[in-house]
Amino acid sequence: MPRGIAPCVGLAASLLVSGLSPAKAEPLPTGFVRLRELAPAIAQDIRYATPFNFTGTVVPGYDHAGCVLTRAAAEALIRAEKRLARQGYGLKLFDCYRPVRAVAAFNDWVKRPGGQDLGRIFHPGIARGDLVAKGYIAANSSHSRGSTIDVGLLRAGEAALPTPTEAGPCDGSVSTRPRESNLDLGTSFDCFSERSALGHPGITAEARRNRAILAAAMSAEGFRGYSKEWWHFTLAKEPFPKTSFDFVIE
């Protein structure tokens, strides 16, 4: 996964809540698309456009709660969704393209004492200042290249769940951690915990099975997983393997 910050107010905040695009959004760089324009039915909960993330506040660069990806990654993701639909499942997106300024804000947040921090939920048992050393936050992120996705698994037809506002530790019991799906995946999204590792032995058999279903569908459509985070996938043949972008998500 390798991953300032001020709440949006007024019109911008209402757009985040509704998921609607601002009327005058700037055109995307060549090769990028807004996923809702291609696949509006795929569930989205773009977490860094809300205060419910490990920083406790909206992250710079996320002016709109919508998934932006390279066209190649978006088309592969749509194929994965169709593959899962045949098995009775669907996808739920938590993060897609991530501006460089957001990655910089994460690193600044780690170094800056005080302020907002939802550590009791997202990094229980790990001090904020240790998140870089332990590999949970990095100076650069593959998300900034536009072909990396953080995604969870749903049952087909599952009613949309709102962004959580409160919860227990992300690696706690399924009944107390952030509720993102009716399926058990072992931890919630963005959980800085050893239990987030794909093959961690401490999760339930159901969680292992659900992680395997998600990983198999993503792999079949050309994505590589990340062993320490069950939700993290990068398109193997990404179109911009050496280019990081910093345009704002509008």
- Give yes or no: 229 in active site: yes
Other Cβ atoms within 10 Å of 181 Cβ, number: 20
221, 229, 238, 250: the catalytic one is: 229
Instruction: Please name every residue paired with 69 in a beta bridge, in sequence order, or none if there are none.
Output: 33
Angle made by CA atoms 189, 49, 118, in degrees to the nearest 5: 55
Other Cβ atoms within 10 Å of 13 Cβ, number: 13
Phi and psi torsions of 73, nearest 5°: -70, -40
Angle made by CA atoms 243, 97, 107, in degrees to the nearest 5: 80
Scored b (16 or more CB within 10 A) or e, 57-89 reads bbbbbbbbbbbbbbbbbbbbbbebbeebeeeeb
Question: Which residue in 80, 77, 85 sits closest to 36, CA to CA?
Answer: 77
Q: Which residues are catalytic?
A: 229
